[in-house]
Each structure stands twice: as structure tokens, then as C-alpha cells.
Amino acid sequence: MNKHIAVLPGDGIGPEITDGAVRVLHAVAKTFGHTFTFEPLLIGGAALDACGEPLPERTVERCLASDSVLLGAVGGPKWEQLPGEKRPEAGLLGIRKALGLYANIRPARLWRALADASPLKCAQDTPIDLVVVRELTGGIYFGARGTREDADMGTTAWDTEQYSVHEIERITRIACSIAEKRGGRIVSVDKANVLDSSRLWRKTVHAYAEVNYPHIRITDMLVDNCAMQLVKDPAQFDVMLTSNMFGDILSDEAAQITGSIGMLASSSLGDGTRGLYEPIHGSAPDIAGKDLANPIATILSAAMMLRDSFLLEREAAAVERAVGEVLDAGYRTADISPADASRVGCRQMADLIAERI
Ligand code: NAD
């Protein structure tokens, strides 16, 4: 298989961690007989420094011409004083919009060797391996809002949760397509006992899935119960399907129960197969350029790209297996390292994983 991958290293530790993921992808290509080409492109503070804007037109054009996009992270103190549209983060929002991405996918997996890092007592004997599929471009964050002076109530502010059938169907499709590559189970999260938008959400999720993915088992859970179940019995979840705001909150809760931020991958997907794959963490300016960053979140993001954009399940599983083996062998970057572990830098961690592909 031939694939052209746009690589957006960005700022801070971005260049180190994307370099690590690219080296792992080279190993995948060699072992499984594929040809992957990589095109480095500017985004964020690096783009501001080079050409005065956080998302150069060329970056958008070349990402649109690519099969998929791998991103490091953007931002840092150097650019913090700039106005909103000139800040590095504007590049991130801009590229998601330009690529038409409306689904945010965040796996939360507790690696056996890192069970101690979880704040949950049950983590030693409970496997945690779930994926949050969050709607990213609708709901209350994008609905009508305002602030008014009310004669009776004084200053009053309001936001609107609004979803169309189309928006719910397209995010359900993505959740179903991910569930069918995993355990085939979806918990759809809503607040249908109170909200009209949630009642439409629930009805539409079932109607769409029954016709298009009859083999996927869908159950509903109220968001307040879901927040409890996530810490009480996280092993019950396979794929969790949520609206924008519920997913914002629950995906952070799910991330936290698995330990280090340096381990957590993500993707943003739209209608086509092209996605934007990136670690959930930021550019970590405090450790940039010191070979201290954990590249695993970016390497696992690359594994998601193999599975969800290129349909290379064996290759994705090989990357995940290699990560597990390296952790089982006791290697740790500083962020996940107890005092007695074999501490390695960003580059060596990536090489150890690449060697095991
Ligand atoms: P951060 O995620 O960059 O760092 C938080 C802490 O986690 C730091 O101590 C850092 O050293 C550590 N850390 C993060 N990733 C790590 C890794 N892979 N390995 C080891 N340690 C790691 O969050 P922050 O400090 O709040 O933000 C720093 C910059 O990143 C800001 O400019 C912020 O706007 C930006 N940011 C970007 C993104 C993105 O590009 N998607 C996301 C969040 C924050």
C-alpha cells in the first residue's frame, strides 16, 4: 500500500515526538511491505515564526492532498501575547475546520505495566480499554448564546444545546465503524430524561444504527450515571458515543483513570478516510529539546491512523503490541518512570518500539 502522510510537528516537543512516530511508521512500512512518504509542514508557532501566520495556505493545501495527517502539538510562551487569530492554537482549529473533521476519538487504555499510575483501586485487576467518540462541531459550544439585562432577574446569560438528525447520524456512523473493529458495543450517553436534544439524540442513534449497523449493540446511559460508572466499573465500556459537551468532560475523566498524559492518543475524523492524528497533550515547553518527552501518545496516534484511515488492522496491532512489550520490559520515559525503572529518552523509546515491529 502507498500512502502519503502530512506531518505537522508544530512547537515545543512536537518535532521530537513526531520524529519518533515517523520512525515507527518506517518500521511498519518495512516489515509489512508498504510505502509511506512523509511531508513535513508548518503549523502553530513554528509557522508564525517562518511566515507570520499559524496556518499557512500551503499547509492546508498539502494536508488536503495527503492521505492523512500526523500532528505533534502547538503553542508556547513565545506566542502567548499574540491576539486570538494569530495564536498557534488558531492553526489547530483552522486545520480541523479545513479538513471537515467533526468527530473526536479518544481511546483510554490502561497498560498492564502502568496499572500503578491509575488513581483507581480496581486498576490492578480491571482491564480499562475504551474509546470515547465525541461530536466536535455542534451542540452547546456552537449553539445560539447571549447575555441580556432582564427586568425581573437582572443580568442573565444563556447557551443553546442544538443537534440535527444529520449531525447525530454522522457521528453515530463513526462510532459504529470504530465499534465494529473492536468489541461491537456502544454506550450512547445523553440526558434524555430532561433534554429534548437528548431525546432526539437517543432516537436517531438507534434508528440509524438499526438500519446501517444492525450487528452493533447499542445501550443508552444518562450522563450523570456514566460519570459514576466510569470510575466504578470502567471495564464495562467498549465505545462511548457522546455529544460535544458530555464528551469534553467524560473524555478527560476517562484519560485521567489511565495515568499519564504522555500515553494518550487521539484523532479527529470526518466523512472521508483522511483524519488528523495527534497526542492529547500540549507542546510541553518545559521539557522541549531535552529528549525527555514520552513519544508513545504520538506513536499510538500513528497506530490509530493505520487502523482508522488506512484499514491496516494488523499493522496497528503490531504497533500497540510493540508498545506493550517495551513497557513490559520495564523501559520508561521520565513522566511514567518510578525511581527504579530503566529510564530512556524520547528517541530511544521510539527506537525500542520500532525495533519490535
Ligand atoms: P502540556 O500538555 O504541554 O504539559 C502539561 C505537563 O505535562 C507538563 O509538565 C509537560 O512537561 C507534561 N507533558 C506533556 N506531554 C508530555 C509528554 N509527551 N511526555 C512527558 N511529559 C509531558 O500542557 P500545558 O503546559 O498546559 O501547555 C503547554 C502549551 O501547549 C501551551 O501553549 C498550550 O496552549 C499548548 N497546548 C497545545 C495542545 C495541542 O497542540 N493540541 C493541547 C494542549 C495544550
In CATH, what number is assigned to the domain containing residue 148?
A: 3.40.718.10
Q: What's the whole-model pTM score?
A: 0.92
Q: Ligand 1 pocket: which of 261, 280, 333 to mutate (most atoms <8 Å of CB)?
A: 261
Distance CA 146, CA 159 (A): 7
Condensed to tens digits (0 to 9), the pLDDT of residues 297-353 reads: 999 999 999 999 999 999 999 999 999 999 999 999 998 887 766 799 999 999 999
Condensed to tens digits (0 to 9), the pLDDT of residues 67-90 reads: 999 999 999 999 999 988 889 999
- Number of domains observed in the structure of the chain: 2
Terminal CA-CA length for the chain: 17
Which of 195, 228, 257 is the last residue in one of the domains?
257
Minimal-distance CA residue to ligand 1 atom 22 = 262
Q: What one-character DSSP code corresponds to residue 170?
A: H
Same domain (yes/no): 248, 123: yes
Domain of residue 26 covers 1-102+264-357
Distance CA 95, CA 43 (A): 9
Half-sphere exposure for 300 (CA within 13 Å, toward CB)? 24
Which of 229, 257, 285 is the last residue in one of the domains?
257
Separation of CA 280 and ligand 1 centre (Å) = 8
Same domain (yes/no): 157, 76: no
Which of 241, 257, 273 is the last residue in one of the domains?
257
Question: Does 107 map to a domain?
Answer: no
Condensed to tens digits (0 to 9), the pLDDT of residues 85-113 reads: 889 999 998 999 999 999 999 999 999 88
Same domain (yes/no): 84, 142: no
Condensed to tens digits (0 to 9), the pLDDT of residues 19-38 reads: 999 999 999 999 999 999 99
List phi, psi (to 5°) of 216. Answer: -90, 130
Same domain (yes/no): 70, 164: no
CA dihedral 322→328→331→335, nearest 10 degrees, is 100
Same domain (yes/no): 275, 252: no
**Ligand 1 site, residue 280, Cβ cutoff 6 A:** no
Same domain (yes/no): 41, 171: no
Condensed to tens digits (0 to 9), the pLDDT of residues 45-62 reads: 999 999 999 999 999 999
Condensed to tens digits (0 to 9), the pLDDT of residues 182-197 reads: 999 999 999 999 999 9
Over residues 233-251, mean pLDDT: 95
Burial of 143 (0-12, 13-18, 19+ CB in 10 A): middle
**Ligand 1 site, residue 284, Cβ cutoff 6 A:** yes
Per DSSP, the residues of 19-70 read HHHHHHHHHHHHHHT-EEEEEE---HHHHHHHHSSSS-HHHHHHHHTSSEEE
Distance CA 98, CA 86 (A): 17
Question: Does 226 map to a domain?
Answer: yes
Question: Does 195 map to a domain?
Answer: yes
